[in-house]
Each structure stands twice: as structure tokens, then as C-alpha cells.
Structure 1
């Protein structure tokens, strides 16, 4: 846990799930820069009257600091929402002081202040600006914030094209602010998201089927090579009753499992609301009407009761925002072991250099390499 010091007060903040060994803070210099600007430390204080919307607040630092203005937080991250709830409670702020929304929810009808923590994904920014633009007016205060490495000319062009004239601040501690003056007369065009493409041949039951990707999903215009390698080496169905596509992304792996065993119950799990919307759309586009599946926003397998799953299929991420880490994969592996029935299996695809076989052998007591190529391995661990 770390303490964020602002002119509004001091706030104890942490990421989610809380890990005392985690060296990363729940905020960075861009959050600090934005809060200083709002408080008038670098000029006139911003008017936060009316409806305040905060887009992309990663761990709730911004809305916790300005909770007295009853902000609306919009996020793509389940973990970000859980961090916000925990940080509000940790700092004695009532849970209803901040209205929590996802990127798939309808925005407030009128937005008077729009604060944007620039996301890693330019596509997600484009999608969200399109969704929010009809709700801003000519007097809406629009301020973006990001690290210098996160703000590019393409970022500014999106603000210009969808919202209106845009300028940037000087850099401070490698962070920068974006100021945008909304022009409601702009012909901003239609939102290009979601997008669809057909899967290539040679990958079993899903060859040629349609994939739907909402903005912000990894490899939105093609099948990523790691997922393709897993699809080419999926286990036979063998009557498995409950299959989980863990970290499902656009859901193509879970779709393959559903098509391979029509009697199987398939659960799609991701912490991204955009990913779950993609997985649901991909599933619905390719299965018969009435075919069911479950779609869960969760921290890995934490929502799964112990001993209820036969097979987990997993292509784990090895980064959190811009930080490289195996913490997420480790939580996924631990959660999978707890949720699997005895004899249940975890199948993982990953880059060879990540060394997942070491972690799986330590956790399960066994690990078999099912397939490998110069870049990837598919690993199988069985709960004994």
C-alpha cells in the first residue's frame, strides 16, 4: 500500500488484488499531474460542478481523490472496479459516492466534466470517445492525462476528430495533459467498433467462422499466433462436462470447445468487459439459437467454486498495463488448480521464454509439453 498526497488530502491506495509484495503503485505521475491541475496548483482550479465522468481510472485513485464531486467512473476493467471499491472503503469514502460504470454501459445523459486517463489501446480510446461524444456539450471541460510515452500524435488526432480542438500541456515528471474544447457540430462519423473477421482454415471446428472484436481486444483484426497454436493443439473433448476459457479475449478458444462437445457447459472468464462482450458476440454468431454459455467478469478463477471444472484453457497475459509481470498468470494457475476436479486438466499456451512449465510443475506436481514451436509451447497439467 502507498499513500497519495494531494492538496485534497492523503489517500492510502493499492492495486487489486492487494499484494504487499507488489512494488507497483495504484497511481502514477499522470494521475498526480491531473489532480494538481484540478486543484489549481498549476493555474486556475477546474470547475467540477455538474456531472463529472472519469474514463479509464486504472485503480480508482482519481475518483477516490475527487469523491466529494460524486464522479461517474467508466472502466473496462473488473479489477479496476474492485480496486476502486476497496480504495474508497480504505479511505472512509461511502461506496455510493462514486457511480461505477463499465465501457459497455450507457454513459450519463449529460457530461459537464470529462476526465480521461489515456488508455494503452488507441482503439479503446476511439470507441469510448465515440460513445461519449453525444453526451458532451460545448461547455464541457475535457482533460486527458497520460505519460509522455502514452500520448502520440494519433492520440491527439482522435480527440480532434471526435470531440474538437485539442492542445497539450508541457511535460511534468514525464506526464502530460490534454485539453480539448468540444465542438458539437463536428461530423465525427460512425463508430467503427466492433469489427469482425473470418477465421483462417486449418484450425479445426472454428475454421472459417466469424470472430467479433470490440475495441481494446488484443489482435482485433486477426487471430493471434499464440491462440492459433492452442487451437491447433486442443485436447479431445472426451465427455468433459465443464470447460472454462480463462482470459477468454474474443472467446474463440471457448467457442472451439463448445463446438467440439455440444453437451459441455462452457464458461468464458475475463477481467475486461470489452473482452466479454466480444466473446459473447463471437459465440452467438456461430452457435445454434438456444445454445447456452456463461460469461463472467472476474479475477481469474476466483468466481468458480472448488472442484467444479473439468478443463481450463488458458492463454495468460504477461503484462498489467505497461508493467511486465507473471503475477496474473500465477493467480490464474493457482485458481485453476483450486477449481478443477481431481483428474481435471489445465492447458496453457505461452511464449517459451516465460518458463510456465516450472510454475505448473511446482503447483500441480506435473507438467507435460503437448506441442512446441520456436515461439510457443502448449502445456498440460493434471490435478492429482
Structure 2
């Protein structure tokens, strides 16, 4: 069985396209295929918005690795290898940003699973130049194209979508970049969580902060807390920073691969945890969030999360804390709470 994802496997079949190129890997890359590319290219660099993937690849000295909401570093790349992201809007964002930086004549290879909507690249790339599918296998497609038109100037500020949420008669502005978890309205699970929260004090972590809805509400309703917000996505970190700024609120917002960059002295860990990774359902990050929560909490610190009722989180919380309390429940969501004794 290959150690590569199926998009990487289809790229591996077409190594001739990469020969002699300075390749910039971007998008939903998840494996170490870029290391194999090093043997076929002049150079390989990786730009990722996923902090977990960045931590994995930056240890390899053959690769130049960049993490952030925007690629700001100089690169000699003349070809992009784009792993099609799960959100179409994120693909548009990445194309606009990377092609603006690399300019005309840049070649591009796009790989992705057909069910992810990779065929959308045919229409999406028309503004830049020609693109053609050259291979398909294992329900994946391989496209090659070239940017022949001058890309428009890119500004990150132009890509934030704004929407309003109201909580306890307080209006808040939410700012969200493409691909960031946000509904454009108040998420039902998040509202139930906020309605159920105990009075907050001390150092509070919003884990998996997304566009910063929970962070903004908690900081506005509890002005004396010391707010920290983390997410594995650079786009989410940038969004939460802008959300807090838009509402005149303060907090320490940072990237973290589960608890990799977190403190160990929280009074509260609050989360509407994600359970999707790429196209497939994944619970591993949330299971780690729950299992290791006691080590990140102060004495008498509390974990409070919202989860879909069908998810089996109670045994994990009970194993970590010795108990788990259900504070609130609807037919779809449940609010779980545990205290560190």
C-alpha cells in the first residue's frame, strides 16, 4: 500500500512534468511526496495554511517550507503543484494569491479527487490561461496548465467576508477568509454552547477558533478574561485576529497543532471542535483535545465543548477526567463539561 494519498499517486505517475522545474507545492497536501519530487526538480518549496503539515515537513532540510495566510516570502518557483482543497473558494483564493506572486508563464499542475470538485479548475483557470486534463486514475484527475495572462494584484483584505451575529442584544462583526469554518450566520451548536457556559474567568482557550465567533462573544460578554484562541489553519488564525480587531476586542491568537503551542494553565478550555479533515470524517484531533485537556488546565479548570450528539466523546472525557457531565442537549447537539479536581 502506498504511503502517498491518491492525488500524490497520480502526480507520481507524471514525474516528467516536474523535471527541471522549481516547484511550489500548495493546497491540501498531506504526505511526503514533495521529498520524492526533490530528486526530479531543481528545487521544491511548500506553502501551506495547515500548521500540522508545516510542522511535519519543515524538519526536512531539502524543502523550503512556508506557513501563513499568505505567501509573503520570495521564491524562484516557476511551477505550482496544487492539491485541490476541499473548499472551492479556497482554491480560487490560492490561485489568485500564488499566481499574483509568481506571475505570467508560471506552469501549474492540479491534482485532486473527482468527488472534491477538482473539475472546477477547468472553468476557474480560464481567466489565467489554458489548462487540460492529462491523466485520471483512482477517481483522481491530473491537470496541467500555464498562466499566460497577467494576474490581478492580490490583497488579503479583499478576501475577507463579513457578517453580523447578535448575542444577548450585542452585535458583532465576524470576518472570515475562504475555507474557514463559518456559516455566514450563527452556528446552532456554537449558540447552544454559549447559552450553556458557566461564568468565565481567568485564562480561557477557544480551541479550533475558526472565524472567531466564540472568541468574540466570550471576550465581549466577559471583558476581564485573558483570551487565547488557536487553530491549525493559518486562514482561521488570520480571520479570528480580524474578527477581534473589528469589534475592538483583544486576545492572543496563534496557530497550534492540537496543543503543540498552547500553555498549561487554562481556567477554561472551550471548543466547538472540528470533526472533518479533508473530505473524510476525522476525530483524531478532537480525541487528543479531550484526552490531553487535564494537562493543560489549572486545578479546578474546566473543559466545556459542544458536539454532535451521535459522537462518542463521553467515554474519552470520562477516561481523561474521571467524569463527564452533560450540561445541555438537543436532538442534534450536546454540551459536555468536565472539571479537573
TM-score for both structures, normalised by structure 1: 0.81
8 Å CA contact 1:57–1:117 kept in 2: the answer is yes
Give the one of 32, 37, 47 matched to 1:66. 37
Structure 1 partner of 2:311: 354
Structure 2 partner of 1:37: 14
Structure 1 partner of 2:115: 149
CA distance in 2, matches of 1:232, 1:166: 50
Structure 1 partner of 2:185: 222
Q: Quick check: 1:117 aligned with 2:117? A: no
Structure 2 partner of 1:297: 255
Query: The residue matched to 2:78 in structure 1 has which SS?
Result: strand
Q: Quick check: 1:167 aligned with 2:138? A: no
Shift of 1:188: 9.4
Deviations 1:14-59 (A, max 9, x none): xxxxxxxxxxx5x312102112212x3xxxx44433x421112523
- The runs of 5 or more residues in structure 1 that have no matched partner are 5-24, 89-94
Shift of 1:334: 2.2
Query: Mean Cα displacement is larger for which, 60-69 or 116-125?
Result: 60-69
Moved beyond 6 Å, runs of 4+: 186-191
Structure 2 partner of 1:338: 295
1:60-209 pair list within 5 angstroms: 60-68=31-39, 69-86=42-59, 88=60, 95=61, 97-106=63-72, 108=74, 111-161=77-127, 163-185=128-150, 193-199=159-165, 201=166, 203-204=167-168, 207-209=170-172
8 Å CA contact 1:249–1:276 kept in 2: the answer is yes
8 Å CA contact 2:135–2:143 kept in 1: the answer is no
- The runs of 5 or more residues in structure 2 that have no matched partner are none
Structure 2 partner of 1:270: 231
Q: Quick check: 1:317 aligned with 2:283? A: no
8 Å CA contact 1:48–1:113 kept in 2: the answer is no
CA distance in 1, matches of 2:43, 2:290: 38
Distance 1:53-1:364 versus aligned 2 partners, 3 A rule: same
**Larger RCO (CA under 8 A, 6+ residues apart):** 2
Structure 2 partner of 1:210: 173
8 Å CA contact 1:110–1:135 kept in 2: the answer is no
8 Å CA contact 2:45–2:63 kept in 1: the answer is no
Q: CA RMSD in A?
A: 2.4
Shift of 1:215: 1.2
Deviations 1:174-231 (A, max 9, x none): 21111222122477998851110011x3x337x4210000111123523322222222
CA distance in 2, matches of 1:186, 1:311: 46
Shift of 1:251: 1.3
Distance 1:321-1:122 versus aligned 2 partners, 3 A rule: same
CA distance in 2, matches of 1:320, 1:218: 12
CA distance in 2, matches of 1:169, 1:245: 44
8 Å CA contact 1:59–1:84 kept in 2: the answer is no
Structure 2 partner of 1:7: none
8 Å CA contact 2:54–2:65 kept in 1: the answer is no
Structure 2 partner of 1:56: 27
Query: The residue matched to 1:171 in structure 2 has which SS?
Result: strand
Deviations 1:74-118 (A, max 9, x none): 1110001112135x3xxxxxx253233334232536641111011
Structure 1 partner of 2:203: 242
